[in-house]
Each structure stands twice: as structure tokens, then as C-alpha cells.
Structure 1
Amino acid sequence: MTTGHTAPTPHRSRIASAMAKARVLTEAMPYIRAFAGKTVVIKYGGSAMVDDDLRSSFARDIALLGLLGLRPVVVHGGGPHISRAMARAGIEPRWVHGLRVTDEATLGVVTATLGFEINPGIVQLLEDHGAAASGFRDLGSGLLDARRLDPDLGFVGEIVSVNTGLIDDLLDRGVVPVVAPLARGANGTHYNINADTAAGALAAALEARKLIYLTDVEGLYRDFDDEDSLIDAIFVAELRQLLGSGSVSAGMLPKLESCIKALERGVPQAHILDGRIQHAVLLEVFTPEGIGTMITRDEQW
């Protein structure tokens, strides 16, 4: 018995696949319009920096953002790379509230690893995937000015000013800035800046539309030990209460504190995404569902 319908063919399968892709593009159109011409600061770190497939996925995402008219800025970390380099140098790492204590020997390792290994590698990765990119990797660039954060942390700095003209010039030419979290103080002292903190400061200074952190967790948990407590969205006021509860992991503290500061200075949204998911940035920016945790300013703002 026949149904009157012809059997599926490879040709029809290809058409169905192409139609599905077209639907994805049309569903993304409102977001493409909304974010065209807007700056997006992305903190790049975790597994997305070391897994080859995730590296390629990230680079393609950044290239596509530029092609669609967005202005991506990449701020990178390098914690595992630095720790391995310190181990080779016989230096024991120490941490306080999620920040690496940085003595003179550690600062030398940090500067060499970020500036001469990681930063040029990311620039090359982006260029290999079709994005024009330029690195800020040495302390002579004048991009970030800082002061000592806490004498007990050594040469750990907090950013006091950003030379946004250097970034805007690249963005206006369609070039992706890739920023190593290194800064110079007024007296010429060199500082190691937490990459999460640097990303937040840059987002605020550049009046970014979004601040995105790629991490190795799904997002922010109300209880770090309970995977079912993932928070989809949270206001700044509630986030402050969560920080005060002591339930947030030490590694998450710099991210959340920098999110709060960035939003207080005008950034509309911050996102904590699982960088282990391919195309995490695109899923957040161009789909209604998004992924991870979104942090926004309070309703009364």
C-alpha cells in the first residue's frame, strides 16, 4: 500500500537542513539589529583557551561578531599557564580572595607568560579564523593605568584609567583588540591585574553594551555545591546579598565584583557563560533563550 508520497531523497534532506539554517538566521535578525555598532567586551579564559575545538569555536564567534557589525574586545586571562610557568621556575603560587599574590619574581613570570606567550597566540588564532586582530601585550602601550590594590598582594593593581582612544581606533577600523591584563602605575611600577577586573573596567570605560565572561561552570549558582541552583538572571541588589551570604566560591568573587562595578558605571548587562559549550558567545548574543547567568541593573535604575 502506498501513501501517495515519494520517499525522502538526499536532495530533500539538504533542503530541510538549509531551511533550518535559514530559520536560525532569521530568528537572529532582531538581535543583529539591536547590537550592530555596539561594543561587547569578552573575558576569555578557562577551557576555551586550551581545548583546540573550543579555541576554534571561540575564534569563529569573534570573527562573526565583527562581520555582523558588532565591536568585540577580548580580554584574556592565563591562570593555568602562569601557574605552570611558576612551577617550572620553582615559585609557589599564593591566593587571597581569588587574587594571585604577586611578588617581583611572580610579576616577571606573569608578564612574560601573558605578554609573550598567550596574547600573541590569541591574536594569531583570531587572524587564522578570519578576524583582523591586534594585541595590547606590553606595559609600554599606555592602555591601562593602575595603582597598588593592597600591599599584602604585592604587585597586584587596580585600574584607575583606560586610554579608550587606543581601543576605539582599532574598533573603528574593524580590528579586534586583544588585551593582556597588565598595567603601569604613575611612578612606572608594573602591575598584574586580575583579568576579570580588567574586563569589567574596560567594559565600563568603553560604554560596552555587554560584558561577557567565559568560565568553566554553567553560570552563577545560588549554592555552589548544588548544580540545580543555577541562576538564570539576577539583579545587582540581589547579587550583593548573595556575595554577602558567603556562598560564592573564591574564584567567582572577582568576576561578580567587577560585574557590579561595571553595571554601576552604566554597562546594561553582564553574562557569566559556560565556555566549555561551543559557540557560547553566539548563543548568548543572538538567541532569545541565552545561556548561563545574566546580571542586570536593578529595576529602579
Structure 2
Amino acid sequence: MSAQNGESGEIEESGEPHLTLPWPEELRDSVVVVKFGGNAMVDADLQRTFAQDVVELWHAGLRPVVVHGGGPQISAMLDRLGLESRFEAGLRVTTPETMEVARMVLTGTVQRELVGHINSHGPFAVGMTGEDAHTMTAVRRPAWVDGRPVDIGLVGDIVDVNPGMVRALLEQGHIPVVSPVARGEDGQVYNVNADLAASALAVALDAERLVMLTDVEGLYANWPHSTDVIDRLTADALDELLPELASGMLPKMEGCLRAVRGGVRRAHVLDGRVPHAVLRGVLGESSPGTTVVPGPSCPAQSP
């Protein structure tokens, strides 16, 4: 799995090469925050290839940080316990009972599985949550549907990030794997959308790239009437589109917008169902999916 910086490397599974890409020297030592979520998280093969990609980024001289979701797993556990799963404005309505389940599943199951997959390649990954060392501080997030406020419970919006622990792990050569749970100044624990948590952490770490994995090919130009994907757009252009987006895509694109306006040089939304999407998005000359860049408004580009 090793590769020299500045040279090409390849992913191997069962001795068979699958992907060869050049390691771009200009990205050496750059922080890349990757949000892992969606149905790819419940596919064992995609979990393994994702872990390979993250380790390959490390071998390429980058500093990957993983922020994971866990929506499908949380919903499955809520179903088993007979508790309701409900979403408003693209976010899970989080009662105190739901919060207990989310915290348990995210930190006790999902994070441990992901850490295990990464560490099958060596002693790289260290699991933590936004609660640890007050890494993430949140306040209750308001939400609106059709212009009216709705109560979504213990859903948090991050208002402060202390990246000291994450930076220390990176400097020690580790790959932090972060669960999106944060504490408020009042001691209340909040469920934070993983897309927005990844975005906030990317800004605080002065990351070069933010990568969002999802279950679609990217941001569609005219959904549901067309499946043409917008391959590149600026922050201003995205800001204009944001009110029109479907609820499932809204947090991801909001996260991308916050990131590039906060100093992240590029944000990608990639199809996590495609093996090695992370490597192709970060190290490939042309990224699949949708790329958001800083800059003034310009027309969105689609095939």
C-alpha cells in the first residue's frame, strides 16, 4: 500500500490493481476532510474500498480527516426500538430518546467499524467525537419548512471548533475519525448533521479539500426533470441555487458553501456508491460529481 510522494501509486485488492493515479506533489501535507455517509456505509465492500482510499491519501503525503454519518444505522436501530424516524428540512428530528440512540450508534458502532477497516492497513485511525476536548461546540439549530419554523429537537449547529486535538493526531501521523456529536455551552449534547460538521472542521483546519460522499452522482442541474450533473460551480452560483434544492441535498451543498466561503480551496460532492470515488475526486485530474470553488457568480457547468 505504500507509495513515494510525487510518484504514481495504485490500489490493490487480492493482488489485482484497480486504480493508478499520480500523487500530486502540491497537495503534500495538505489536510483533506472526507465526509463518509449514505448507503455506502452499509455496504461492506464499499466500506473496505473507502478505507483503502483514505490510507492511500495518507501514503500520498496528505493528511486525511474522516467525519462520518450514520443515518441508515440510526434509523435501523430506532425501528428496532419502536421509535419514530422523522425528518424536517433535510435533518433528523431528534428527541432526547433519539439523541441517546444516535450517540450510541455513531460512537459505539459506526465509528468502531470504520476505525477497524482503516486500521486493517496499519495503526492509522483514532476515533473521537466532537465532544472530546470540546472540539465542537453547538447551539440548537432552527429550521423552517415552507416559511414556517419547525421544532427539530436536539439538532445542533456548530458555532465553534477547537481543532487542537485533531491537529495533534495529524502531527503524530494518525487519521482522525470523528463522530458528529457536539456539546453546547449549557452541557446539552446535540446531534449534528455530518455534512455540516465536516464543513466546520474543514474550515477550522484550513483544509485544502472537503469531500462529501453521497448516494447520487452529484448536484443535478434540473432535478427531477433531468439527471445532468453540474460538474463545477462557484460559491455565489451555489448560493443562488440553495433555496431550490431538495431537502436531502441541502445540508451537503450548504456545507460545501460554508467551506469554500470559509477558506477551503475546493469542495467535492461525489457518488459514494462508486468504488474509489475519494481517490478519483482528490487525486484525479478531473473530478467526478460536482465541484464547488470560491469566486464570483458564473453559470453552472453541466455536460
Structure 2 residue runs without a partner (length 5+): 1-16, 143-149, 298-303
CA offsets per residue over residues 19-52 of structure 1, 9 Å max, x none? Answer: xx8x945xx14xx202110000000012321212
Alpha-carbon distance in structure 1 between the residues aligned to 2:130 and 2:27: 31
Q: 2:42·2:72 contact (CA, 8 Å) conserved in 1?
A: no
Structure with more helix by fraction? 1
Report the TM-score, using the length of structure 1 for normalisation: 0.87
CA offsets per residue over residues 73-98 of structure 1, 9 Å max, x none? Answer: 00000001001111111111121110
Which residue in the other structure is 1:267 paired with?
264
Secondary structure of 1:147's counterpart equals strand
Matches within 5 A, 1:169-248: 169-244=168-243, 246=244, 248=245
Report the TM-score, using the length of structure 2 for normalisation: 0.86
1:41 partnered with 2:40: no
Structure 1 residue runs without a partner (length 5+): 1-20
CA offsets per residue over residues 120-150 of structure 1, 9 Å max, x none? Answer: 1111111013351101147344221111112
Match of 1:295 among 292, 297, 300: 292
Q: Percent of aligned pairs with the same residue?
A: 44
The code of the aligned residue for 2:172 comes to R
Matches within 5 A, 1:49-198: 49-130=41-122, 132-137=124-129, 139-150=131-142, 152-198=151-197
Q: 2:95·2:154 contact (CA, 8 Å) conserved in 1?
A: yes
Structure with more strand by fraction? 2
CA offsets per residue over residues 141-185 of structure 1, 9 Å max, x none? Answer: 422111111281211111111121100001111100000000111
1:253 partnered with 2:250: yes
Q: 1:222·1:242 contact (CA, 8 Å) conserved in 2?
A: no
Q: Which runs of 4+ in 1 moved over 6 A?
A: none
Q: 2:265·2:293 contact (CA, 8 Å) conserved in 1?
A: yes
Q: 1:63·1:131 contact (CA, 8 Å) conserved in 2?
A: no
Which residue in the other structure is 2:7 paired with?
none
1:226, CA displacement in angstroms? 3.9
CA RMSD in angstroms, aligned pairs only: 1.7
Alpha-carbon distance in structure 2 between the residues aligned to 1:131 and 1:249: 40
Q: 1:57·1:278 contact (CA, 8 Å) conserved in 2?
A: yes
Kindly name which structure, 1 or 2, has the bigger radius of gyration based on alpha carbons: 1
